[in-house]
Amino acid sequence: MTAEDLPRVLQQLWGLEGPARPGPKPTFQLSDIGAAAIKLADTDGLGAVSMSKVAAALGFTTMSLYRYVDSKDELYVVMLEQAFGQPVPVEPGTTWRERITAWAVAFRDAIRRHPWVLQVPITEPPLSPMQLEWMEHGLRAFEDTGLSAADSLSAMILVNIYVRGAGALSVGMTPDAPEYSEANRLYVQRLAMLADPDRYPTIATNLQSRPAADFDVDYDADDFFFGLDTTLDGIEALIARRTTR
């Protein structure tokens, strides 16, 4: 395979693009297009992103945008490349759990900054430079654990799936938001009214046994680390089985 076999957007991101297309010299960089699209998505959601709106934000025609990206799917690649940025470095002397925890937290924080990333269709494994940087750092977290290359990849994907799922539960609600406490109060009141102890005894018992403030509608930091630690406990058990054979 040669660079010409790659989608054009990957050729550009990797600096492998062949001869320039006919027409005027490009006015913008892919980074300009990505920044404009990200601003639209951050403000009004992924549904607000279209080739025409991105072109308008940059001050040129929709057809001109096609000199840079061939489709909305390619535009998404550029957006994701910029939205996540650089992964956290793998710190020397740390344990595999510390390394993958730092990776997972950085991934979670990127989702919180740009929650629309969860709505971008996943049509193929990552191939852009920054996505491969994240994959590289995720895999390096499992170095020296005794896991095979295949097991390390599966473990990284498992953590990725967990973080994405936790992110999906918490999108739009953060404890610092002014509407958070009111939404939580209403939820607890409504749950107490609807969760009849005869029909939902376990929910009713759970609700009665904890302060209303702890019965959050948000998947908060404690919930996140409980789930992450439980996920890592499973991976640790796998490592133990692999290394005792």
Q: Are 172 and 114 in contact (CB under 8 A)?
A: no
Q: What is the CATH number of domain 3-83?
A: 1.10.10.60
pLDDT attached to residue 25: 60
Contact 147, 240 (CB under 8 A): no
pTM of the model: 0.83
Q: What is the pLDDT of residue 205?
A: 87
Q: Where do the domains of the chain lie?
A: 3-83, 85-173+219-243, 178-214
Q: Which pLDDT value is given to residue 76?
A: 96
How many CB atoms within 10 Å of residue 22?
A: 6
Question: What is the residue whose two structure tokens read 């057809």?
Answer: 63
Identify the sign of the CA torsion 145, 149, 155, 161: positive
Query: What pLDDT was estimated at residue 52?
Result: 95
What pLDDT is recorded for position 170? Answer: 76
* CATH class belonging to 85-173+219-243: mainly alpha
Residues of the chain where predicted confidence (pLDDT) is lower than 70: 18-27, 172-181, 183, 210-220, 245
CA gap 117, 119 in Å, rounded: 5
Pick from 126, 33, 21: nearest CA to 67: 21
Beta-sheet strands, E only, within 71-133 = none
